[in-house]
Structure 1
Amino acid sequence: MSETAAKREANWVESENSSRKVKRAKADEDNGHFKIMFADKEAVVILEKTPIREDTLADLFSGSVLKLEMKNDIYSTYRLQAPHHLNEIKTTVVCPATEKHIKKYQRQESFLVEETGEDYESITLPYIQQQSFSLQWVYNILEKNAEADRIVFEDPDPKVGFVLLPDFKWDQKQVDDLYLIAIAHCRGIRSLRDLKSEHLPLLQNIFEKGKEAIMQRYNLPASKLRVYLHYQPSYYHLHVHFTKLGYEAPGCGVERAHLLADVIQNLQSDFQYYKTRTLYFPLRAEDGLLSKFKESGKL
């Protein structure tokens, strides 16, 4: 959206709305997330420092103000005030924000959940069917009703096709933090759990054509890419993450990310691999799904 649903749903508040007085603002200082109450709407505002780019270093060094904090032999630390044009903060707004959006971005303790195939059918799937976010923003992309100008590559085939576009986490100004998302045209595949051997042509097509498109557009070879799926995903429509190896993208840890190459190999070995396999994933303290696992005595 990342890679998150709420981030992709977000639109900046237009000028007529931005003049509204803020009734309440509560900051979560550890992760830069703020909950803001507008006059008649709740909103989530996400603040992120933009990456430092190599092509701006000359301006950064020549135009910044330095304040010495500490010096000891060859070591010293400073506070640096960058020039105005290099001191941007990327701001994403979800407005109006539902309670689910607000909880999604609040700082919470996390727990690792162990989910068997039976747990998925009896606990996770019913919860997903009741609680998942709207996928309208995904369909808007696939139908070219939104973000059409951001599409890097598309295979329009309804069965194995996909669109490839930058994730909102990436400002597209340098490949060091490259982050793209491939969204499948095929609907109805919610997550890893739905994947079977019949989906191998789709997965292989995304894997191969996605890497080719990135090579052609960004001159980045496959050997420098991390290609993976999340479980649990942040939204329940099949999508694949492409990030540059070496960039520690949110959610790329082993407790959530599954390399697409491994997924393909697992399905080639066992067509029901993800239907029966025990999977592990983190959930935050106030996640409704975590409550369901606790109620079932699984945590």
Structure 2
Amino acid sequence: MAAMQESEAKRLRRDSGTGNGAAAGEGEDPALHSPVSGFTTERVLRDSAREKTLFVHGKIDDQEAIVILEKTPIRQDTVDEMLKTSTLKLEMKNDIYSTYQLQAPAHLNEIKTTVICPATEKHVKKYLRQETFLIEESGDDYTAITLPYISSQSFSVQWVYNILEKKAEADRIIFEDPDPNIGFVLLPDFKWDQKQLHDLYLIAIVHRKDRKSLRDLTSDDLPLLKNIQEKGQEAIKKQYGVPPSKLRVYLHYQPSYYHLHVHFTSLEYDAPGSGVERAHLLSDVIQNLQADSQYYSSRTITFPLCADNALLLRFKEAGKL
């Protein structure tokens, strides 16, 4: 198993070398192409020692921006090189135990950097550490509170349409079913650096534009959901060698954006938002709709909201919190 994972990691690294958009020309100064070289920090929104991530709010050329810094995992296929070529500084030694500060070569000491610019206040709130509350939303609450809120907001999903229309990230798509009713595109999520399998993370985005979330699904959507489940799992097994039994396939509610999409993550990865308060297994969704066509339009669904989320205020005003 370890040998297979090492082989897969090497292939992932090779295949993803040019799959993340335009790069600096050969021999050119990378700093000239760096969107963060002019970044000025205003505040740290959130940090996580456990996940080794830092969310920073600031400006790039007078535009609001968010920079997410994430230490990439140590890859199995680089361990020998790292131990042989790094420098060590002794911190403590006691009998058989010793600890060091290890300084690895630059190419083995990467920090994944995500840039959102121009960033909106909604982006800032998304990444700011806040108190969280659980909301119990009935079907009537969705109709009376949540749906009007969604309709009144300008939640742009243009970036999703850019993917579907091949205007952006076309080289990152690993599978597509072009059928307008049950089709979708499958591509790696930006949370995954595609250099190891234990944190595998892909997103299936449906071609249909009339399905916002779990609440819109009925038994009429079973062909779509089954198609995503079957072909998505097949594509991942073919591309990465990961079988369906090693995948967690689910939908979020509330979703982070209102265009129906499905998450595929490795069971080994404790992915953000994969907890029971937000994630709904696709297999469960299919079974529920087979038993009751209106299951998700009528049932009470529990989900978390941050303290300054505008939707939380709507529930408070309605006396639901």
TM-score by length of 2: 0.85
The aligned counterpart of 2:64 is 42
**Does residue 140 of structure 2 align to residue 118 of structure 1?**
yes
Equivalent residue number for residue 220 of structure 1: 242
Q: Secondary structure of the residue that 2:47 maps to in structure 1?
A: coil
1:25 and 2:47 correspond: no
Tell me which residue corresponds to 1:247.
269
Report what 2:84 is aligned to. Answer: 62
CA contact (8 A) 1:50 1:88 kept: yes
**Aligned 8 A contact 1:132 1:236 in 2:** no
SS in 1 for 2:156: coil
- Counterpart residue number, 2:221: 199
Q: Distance in 2 between matches of 1:17 and 1:91?
A: 10
- Decide which of 174, 190, 215 is 2:196's aligned counterpart: 174
Q: Within 2, Cα distance between the matches of 1:282 and 1:194?
A: 19
Query: Taking structure 1 as reference, are residues 21 and 60 closer, same or farther at Cα in structure 2, changes over 3 Å only?
Result: closer
Task: Report what 1:157 is aligned to.
Answer: 179
Q: Secondary structure at the match of 1:176?
A: coil
- Extract unaligned runs of 5+ from structure 2: 1-21, 24-30, 49-53
Deviation at 1:171, TM superposition (A): 1.1
Which residue of the other structure, out of 259, 270, 273, is the alignment partner of 1:237?
259
Alpha-carbon shift at residue 40 of structure 1 (Å): 2.0
Which of 286, 289, 301 is the equivalent residue of 1:264? 286
Match of 1:107 in 2: 129
Q: What TM-score, normalized by structure 1, do the two folds share? A: 0.91
Verify the 8 A CA contact 1:165 1:182 in the aligned structure 2: yes
Q: Which moved more, 1:49-58 or 1:158-167?
A: 49-58
CA–CA distance in 1 between the matches of 2:105 and 2:247? Answer: 33
Give the Å deviation of 1:101.
1.2
Give the AA of the match of 1:219. Answer: G
Describe the superposition over 1:8-57 as per-residue Cα deviations: whole angstroms up to 9, x where unpaired: xxx999748655473x5322463411011234211111111112111111
Percent sequence identity is 68
**How far apart are the structure 2 equivalents of 1:21 and 1:269?**
53
Are the structure 2 counterparts of residues 201 and 63 from structure 1 closer, same or farther at C-alpha, using a change threshold of 3 Å? same
**For the Cα contact (< 8 Å) 1:184–1:239, is it kept in 2?**
yes
Aligned partner (choices 160, 164, 167) of residue 142 of structure 1:
164
Identify if the C-alpha distance between structure 1 residues 21 and 167 changes in structure 2 by more than 3 Å, giving closer, same or farther.
closer
Runs of 4+ in structure 1 off by over 6 angstroms are 11-14
The alpha-carbon deviation at position 191 of structure 1 amounts to 0.6
Residue 175 of structure 1 aligns to a residue whose secondary structure is coil
Give the match's secondary structure for 1:249: coil
The count of residues paired between Structure 1 and Structure 2 equals 289
Any unmatched runs of 5+ in structure 1?
A: 1-10
